[in-house]
Amino acid sequence: MVDKSQAYEDKFKGCIVGLSIGDALGMPVEWFTRSQIEEMGGISEYIDPINKFKDILKAGDYTDDTEQTLALANAFDKNGYNEDKFIENLLYWYNHNPIGIGPTSSKALENLSKGIKNGMPSETCGSAMRTAPLGLFYFDNLSKLVEKSISVTKLTHNSPNAIAGALSISFVVSKCLIHGIAHNTYDKYRLEKGGFDDGLGAIEKLRDVYEKDVGAFLNRDLEDDDISKYEHPEASHSTYSKIIEYNKNIIDKKRMEKGYDPILFIGERDIKRPYEYPEFRQTIEDCSHLLIDTSIEFSEKIVDILEICENAHNNNYDKKVILEGYDKLGTGINAIEAVPSAIFSFMISNSFESSLLNSINAGGDTDSIGSMCGALAGTYYGFNAIPKKWINNLSNHEHIINTSINLYNLKVMD
């Protein structure tokens, strides 16, 4: 049983609400090119749709990305994910005027209504956009996270790249929860203490955060075999041990070269973008390794994110360089483009708001990329970091919040 922590509930709420906000912000300009969005002044708030959703939806409304995520989030019970309940929820939605449903999901749900569960051979991101709840619920059980992500995807999208996309989102969401809690807890200690005497003191505190605070919530050993099984082969038995050792080496090197402790080190919020944290770079490497048996092509594309992030970092996150990154990754409907672009948006941004606006203003499949990025950023930064205007003007926001709380409460019972 896990600890009833407001911090963890904040992450659950942030994920589902963040996903819905990304969907609603991106919905009005879905399939607009980047230049078309720029010509209209960019997206920074909810607007009435000016595309296929015109006269159907209004500012703050969401589409199938959110609807299917809610269908999944409401398919959990005290034993975890319930496939029969998920199918029931999907079919209920399908039979009640499903706004924005794609052709793959439409045909797959038609088949499901007839008892056919083999899905369609589609490469799109229609499953990846909905799997975030799996990352939340199974963040402490990677074997089940993998198993359930695959089964949830195969119901509608039965292709290697679609499965790899869904695995990527659920896996990175799980890491956003763990690292977000650790960073938040670390910052709380740092503020209470007024800083640390030296870099190694800070690193020792971070060790405490990962091994005691996060470990206590998991109520298990962070070095469990089911985690190390999927990590990058070059990683030590525990990713967390590797992070600690990595930063100790940096500090020792700085001491030798400069004769003083570095100002910036793991956990300090002076480093604001997820890419700049070693644990998130390790997350991307681990994600790539996780996908090798599913899709080598997708695995290699995930690794590309690190190179593109590094280029953006080395150029001080210049807008032109970031946009070139989106061009390399692609912003289309296929999972192999939409998922990496959503992760890239999160990795190179320094807030929930900037993550979403970067993802949507890049153009393309804006609602799906925005929703997946919103799930990552919402999990990491938390519900309390989301602009209140976006929450209050989101359609059915109370229902969405309650759904995320219910999912959290079921996890507490797990």
Residue positions in the annotated binding site?
63-65, 365, 367-368
Single-letter code of the amino acid located at 100: G
Could you list the residues known to form a binding site for Mg(2+), using ranges: 63-65, 365, 367-368
Longest dimension (CA), the chain: 71
Residue owning tokens 């967390």: 240
Q: Are 213 and 182 in contact (CB under 8 A)?
A: yes
DSSP 304-322: HHHHHHHHHHHTTT-HHHH
Eight-state DSSP code of residue 44 = S
CA distance 47 to 43: 8
* Tokens found for residue 80: 């975890």
CA within 13 Å, CB half, 29: 29
What DSSP element (H or E) covers 76? strand 76-77
CA distance 260 to 254: 7
* Tokens found for residue 167: 């695995």
CA distance 392 to 382: 16
Residue owning tokens 């994920």: 15
